[in-house]
Every structure is written in structure tokens, then in C-alpha cells.
Structure 1
């Protein structure tokens, strides 16, 4: 499954890159793209694991970029 989410308050392209690299290392993430210009995160994961993977992505994002929120 592939879904896109709005990123609220991502501050810079470097922050987006750091977030993308960390998310890409999570188990279950097949593909991820974080675009600073469009303020969008696109996540691909297996259908049956997508919600679990998304929960871990949201938690990781909160640790790395506390001001950034993934709008579901």
C-alpha cells in the first residue's frame, strides 16, 4: 500500500532528509519519500502491516523532529 501524508511544520530540507533516512531504516518500510518543498511524506509498506508501520513512522518523526506533525 502507498499513501501520502501532509507534514506540518517541517523546517528545512536537511530536516526532511534526516527524517527520510531514519524512516527508510524502519522494518516494514518498502519505500519512503519526504519532500520539503511540498511538505509531503509518501510511504509504501505491505497492506497487512501498513497501520503498524505508520504508527512507528509517526513515533520516530516525533523523536527526530518534535515540531513536525504527520497529518493523518
Structure 2
């Protein structure tokens, strides 16, 4: 850097790195590109069958136990997907279409108690 300023003159730099100004020849036409309207008619996505989903408050002491509980809950019949947020102390469960939520959650609680016996799921 010192070598650049040794002469006392500051070199001229473009306004932005890599910026170039292009000059069109006289009489040249600028091509415009059509932009779609922001609220143009869009076809809605096909509605998938909504699966029942519920959130449950839980108590668990460590993040590793929460991860193991989540894995155990995902293996229970009737559970499509279970996710535990350790920081929020919350379990979200997506059930199979024909599953009885109360009985499934009782089995989830039993599976989780095998992992961490002092955890709690408030059904």
C-alpha cells in the first residue's frame, strides 16, 4: 500500500469494485423485459390432507435426553413425526390420520419414561 501512495498522488478507484459503465451506441434501442405482476393469478398448490398436530408442554433436564426422547417418540405407532424443542420445553407431535391421540400420547410418554424416568409430558 505504501508503494501506491509514495508519489503523493492518490490513485483513482472506480465507485464500486468491479463496476463498469457501458455506453450504448447512438440509436441503439434498450430491450425491456416484461415483469410479472406481483399479485398475478396463481394456481393454489394441491391441498394435501392435513394431519392432526398438537403441541405438548414437557419437562426434561438435558438436551441429549430430549434428543433421545424425540427418537423414541418417532418410533411409536400412530406418530407421523415428533419434534422436541429443548429450550422451549415443548414437544410437537404430528399424528397418523386414524390414530387416537390420547392413547398414542400415553405410549409416547411410556417410551420417553424409559429414556429419562424423571421427564414429564403434560397431556
Q: Same fold (TM over 0.5)?
A: yes
Q: Structure 2 CA distance, aligned partners of 1:47 and 1:12? A: 33
Moved >4 Å (runs of 4+): none
Higher relative contact order (CA 8 A, sep 6+): 1
- Structure-2 separation of matches of 1:18 and 1:43: 15
* Superposition RMSD in Å: 1.3
Which residue in the other structure is 2:49 paired with?
none
Cα distance, 1:67 vs structure 2: 0.9
The equivalent residue for 1:33 is 83
Q: Distance in 2 between matches of 1:55 and 1:11?
A: 20
TM-score after normalising by structure 2: 0.53
Give a deviation string over 1:40-65, Cα, whole Å, max 9, x none.
Answer: 01111135421221110111112211
Q: Unaligned regions of 5+ residues in structure 2, if any?
A: 1-51
- TM-score normalized with structure 1 length: 0.87
Structure ranking higher in strand proportion: 1
2:114 corresponding residue in structure 1: 63
Runs of 5+ consecutive residues of structure 1 not aligned to the other structure: none
Greater share of helix residues, 1 or 2? 1
